[in-house]
Amino acid sequence: MRLGVLDIGSNTVHLLVMDAHRGARPLPAYSHKVDLRLSEHMEDGDRLSVRGATRLREFVEEALRIAEDKGVEDLMAFATSAVRESVNGEEVIAGIKAGTGVDIEVLSGQDEARLTFLAVRRWFGWSSGRLLVLDIGGGSLEIATGLDEQPDAAVSLPLGAGRLTRDNLTADPPPAGELRALRRHVRTEIARTVGEVCRYGSADHAVATSKTFRQLARIAGAAPSSEGERVRRVLRHADLVGWADRLARMTTRERAGLPGVSEARAPQLPAGAIVADAAMDLFGVEQLEVCPWALREGVILRRLDAMPEN
């Protein structure tokens, strides 16, 4: 069947159309996304502005038209930290449902971690053993570990690259003092979770998902996306340490000129590198393998698993 997944993130809103069948690998058929940056449409820190809510509704209406044109049979919509943490998020979601009929599921941080973990497990299979999965989004960092399809531990921290940039860095490039303070903050937050995650045992395979990790891996020498999703891509901690320092000293324009770095994400990359460095260091990870599947695929897999067998 042809499924549509509407992903409302802190940075990007994304409609992904996929041909998916129970027991088979979902195949992407069409993609449409916009850098809406809902996290930058907050008033008083935690209220989605009228303009932000209007733009979100306009995108949902556009996504509905596209889904109809592409023959989508089932449209699933979900929102993550930007909507989840908005004091008027439920009101905005209810208004969109009343106007369009689209029911948007607001995922908890743990839901994000669990569904991303499911996608990674299905991609790498049982032979990969215990997985440690890291995902840096615009608003949060998700961490999960486990041997099965459901993780033993699933943690979500407010350490997204967009959030940290907006709340902690004031100049381009950021002042050294702000970077040191941010580094201390990030490491303190992640360190509090290490015991909870690691008590289940060391990971056999450490994996990263998300645009931030893909960009960091690319500038550190991983293959470009044009070579296909089946090419193995890794991010080594030793390479990341050097790049984290270099990215912090670059301007946004200079970062945007690096291979694989989009202009829209370039401002967030220093904060993303600080989070990635801290997570790899504190969890003792020398190398992460980048997985092309993440939260959207996890949502699709959950939907397929719930379908009755013919």
DSSP symbols for 208-248: EESHHHHHHHHHTTPPPGGG-TTS--EEEHHHHHHHHHHHH
What is the share, in percent, of the chain residues with pLDDT greater than 70?
100
Mean pLDDT confidence for 287-292: 98
Residues 6+ apart with CB under 8 A from 249: 173
Residue 308: how many CB atoms within 10 A of its CB?
A: 5
* DSSP reduced 3-state for 235: strand
Tens of pLDDT, residue by residue over 150-205, are: 999 999 999 999 999 999 999 999 999 999 999 999 999 999 999 999 999 999 99
Take residue 68 and report the two structure tokens written for it. 């109809």
Look at strands 13-19 and 47-48 and give their pairing: unpaired
How large is the average pLDDT for residues 96-107?
Answer: 97
Task: Specify the CATH class of 110-295 in words.
Answer: alpha beta
d(CA 166, CA 182): 12
206-253 per-position pLDDT tens digit? 999 999 999 999 999 999 999 999 999 999 999 999 999 999 999 999
pLDDT (average), residues 30-52: 91
Q: What is the DSSP letter of 251?
A: -
| Residue 21 pLDDT level (bands cut at 50, 70, 90) | confident
For the chain, where do the domains classified as CATH 3.30.420.40 start and end?
2-106
141/156 Cα distance (integer angstroms): 6
d(CA 288, CA 285): 7
28, pLDDT greater than 90: yes
Query: Which residues make up the CATH 3.30.420.150 domain(s) of the chain?
Result: 110-295
CA 79 to chain centre: 12
pLDDT recorded at residue 310: 61
CATH number of the domain at 2-106, out of 3.30.420.40, 3.50.50.60, 3.40.50.2300, 1.10.10.10?
3.30.420.40
CA distances from 130 to 151, 152, 191, 206 (A): 9, 10, 20, 9
What is the spatial distance between Cα 41 and Cα 49, in angstroms, rounded to a whole number? 6
Does the predicted TM-score (pTM) go above 0.85? yes
What pLDDT band is residue 96 in, cutting at 50, 70 and 90? very high
For residue 309, pLDDT over 80 is answered with no
Split at pLDDT 50, 70, 90, the class of 22 is: confident
Q: Dump strand ranges (E) for 9-140.
A: 13-19, 27-34, 42-43, 47-48, 74-79, 104-106, 131-136
- Mean pLDDT score across all residues of the chain: 95
Distance from CA of residue 192 to its chain's centroid? 21
pLDDT at residue number 117: 98
Provide the pLDDT for residue 31: 96
- 215 residue type, one letter: Q
| Strands 27-34 vs 131-136: parallel, antiparallel or unpaired | unpaired
Residue 210 CA from chain centroid, whole number: 4
Structure tokens at 115: 């569904």
Answer whether 102's CB lies under 8 Å from 62's CB.
Answer: no
In the prediction, which pLDDT does 104 show? Answer: 97
Rounded mean pLDDT of 269-295?
98
- Cis check for the bond before 259: say yes or no (omega within 30 of 0): no
pLDDT digits (tens, 9 = 90+) for 157-171: 999 999 999 999 999
Neighbours of 77 (CB within 10 A): 24
Backbone angles phi, psi at 29, to 5 degrees: -115, -30
State the CB neighbour count (10 A cutoff) for residue 12. 18
